[in-house]
Structure 1
């Protein structure tokens, strides 16, 4: 692992792609992908339709020294892929725990990208967490399979509010001890 140019967030390298900190140049692709209702409906925090300024605010928060989460672009340029194929985040929680969140651009669905990204982040464990958590909507079994393939174990059911759906959605919660 090497640190980004600011020296605060690690770059996680894999054969297929790098997980690297977001940069302003990513805004166009992030906005393009997050404007897709299919993607937005599978996240808690992406509204649909996407209001003006949402992507800029997201990238600005991700680049802030005072950010609450580390956020990486799944950058596949080293293997002929896109500069932003998806985004993965790690939020620091109390008691040496963290929470993983991710989305993959629809064009890269069913390619193993999400599994590879989560696995790379878990293996790097940049926050030195003892336990990682993640949750997915119950109508998104593909993301649940990603977590299971990466060694996460089912903890239980819950629910989260989804901005794109404007309603509360049942979730499955998972954890992985490191």
Structure 2
């Protein structure tokens, strides 16, 4: 049996949930939600269908001391909600520069969950970043609204490969300078 690793990463509290490091016990819910084609297709990195062992490998990477991305579970269990409603992460791309990425389980879409998570991560700035970047697929305007509502500025169009779609997909790219 694998045990949870204590990850050197802060817990960030919001009004409705906490953002905490991933635990081994999250694997079942991650597999259920990330295995949903509608979730996977809106990310660049989640394959569909999920190969066996992929969620275990993801949690292992998230708990590694050598990780390049800090990953948090959106957890409302303290108030009787779901233990995992989505994932948000910060990937280091250069000194002081990080890329934010997130997905929310379909049951929690259109609830403001992603906006609250992004705003809270910006406010906490746990990696002491000076610039945040993000890219969303152009057929996902809801994610683009999350970013613009949180102060991100549009940089331009690009494209990113989506593993679930097995194709390059047009994206909108954004940035946010932090003080």
TM-score under structure 2 length normalisation? 0.95
Contact 2:71 2:89 in 1 (8 A): yes
Give a deviation string over 1:130-152, Cα, whole Å, max 9, x none: 11000000000000000011110
Runs of 4+ in 1 over 3 A off after TM superposition: none
SS at match of 2:11: strand
In the alignment of these two chains, the number of paired residues is 174
Give a deviation string over 1:4-46, Cα, whole Å, max 9, x none: x846101101120000000000000000001100000000000
1:131-142 matched pairs, under 5 angstroms: 131-142=131-142
Contact 1:16 1:78 in 2 (8 A): no
Residue in 1 aligned with 2:122?
122
Residue in 1 aligned with 2:87?
87
Contact 1:154 1:173 in 2 (8 A): yes
Residue in 1 aligned with 2:112?
112
Contact 2:7 2:21 in 1 (8 A): no
1:167-178 matched pairs, under 5 angstroms: 167-178=167-178
Contact 2:41 2:162 in 1 (8 A): yes
Question: How far, CA to CA, are the matches of 1:74 and 1:163 in structure 2?
Answer: 24
TM-score under structure 1 length normalisation? 0.95
Runs of at least 5 residues in structure 1 that lack an aligned partner in the other structure: none
Runs of at least 5 residues in structure 2 that lack an aligned partner in the other structure: none
